[in-house]
Amino acid sequence: MNKFDNRPERDIIYLYEDNDIVAVSKPAWLLSVPGRGKDKMDSVAYRVQQKYADARTVHRLDWATSGVMIMALNARAHRHLNKQFADRQTQKRYIAVVGGIVEKEEQCIALPLRCDWENRPRQIVDWEQGKPSQTHVSVDSRDTDKRQTRLILRPVTGRSHQLRVHCQQIGHAIIGDQLYAPPVWRDISPRLLLHAEWLQVRQPSTGELIEFFDQSPF
C-alpha cells in the first residue's frame, strides 16, 4: 500500500505560450484532464482553462507522472496537433529511475498491451488481443550502491502505462510505481520516478519544429 500523500506537489508552471500552443510543466499527482465527480475536477486542463478558456487537450500524462504537457489554444491548432500525435510525428523523451542494474546500454521493447479489465487501470501484455507498443531504452547512469538505474525512454507509441509496463517487463520496475513495482521498489519513493522531460512538435501555423524542455526533478 502507498504510505505517501498523493496530492500535487506544486502548481503547473508555464513553459511556453504562443497563439496556438501552451506548454506547461505538470506536477506528479495532478490529473491531465478532469475525472468523474467534482472531487476530480482539478487537473492540468482545468487549471490552464482558467487562463485560456478555449484550451484543448491533445495528449495526456499519467496522474503519477510529471513533465511537459501541451494544449492547443484553438480548433485549427487542435486538429493539427492531434494529427501529429496520431501519425507519430512528435518526438518524446522521458527520464525514469528503475530498480536494479540494467545491463544493456540500449534496447528496444516491443510488446502488445491491453487493459486488464478486472484490475483497471492496470495494463497487461496480451499476445492475442493487445495493441502494439514500442519504446527505445538507453541507460543514462547506474548507481551500484543503491542498485538503481537511470534510464532515458523514447516511446514510439503512446499506449496507456506503456513505459511503466515496459520497464516492469524487463525486470526493472520504475521506483515508486504503485501499480507495477514490487514493494522493495514501490515504497522507497513518495512519487513515481517517471518524468516527461522533452517534447518536440511542429508549430501548427508555421510548420517549424519547436521543443519544450522540463528538467527532471530527480
What per-residue confidence (pLDDT) applies to 6? 81
Give the pLDDT confidence of 146-174 residue by residue, as tens digits. 999 999 999 999 999 999 999 999 999 99
How far is residue 65's CA from residue 194's CA, in Å, rounded to a whole number? 6
Angle at 6 between CA 38 and CA 111, to 5 degrees: 95
How far is residue 69's CA from residue 65's CA, in Å, rounded to a whole number? 11
What per-residue confidence (pLDDT) applies to 174? 99
DSSP state, residue 31: B
How far is residue 47's CA from residue 70's CA, in Å, rounded to a whole number? 13
Show which residues are catalytic: 62
- Look up the pTM and report it: 0.95
CA pseudo-torsion sign 12, 16, 18, 20: negative
H-type alpha helices, 37-104:
44-51, 75-86
pLDDT above 90 as % of the chain? 94
Rg (CA), the chain: 17
Strand partners, 134: 110
Domain-wise residue ranges, the chain: 94-194
pLDDT, average across residues 62-66? 97
Domain 94-194: homologous superfamily in CATH: Pseudouridine synthase (3.30.2350.10)
Strand partners, 159: none
Record the cell numbers describing residue 74, joined without a space: 484553438
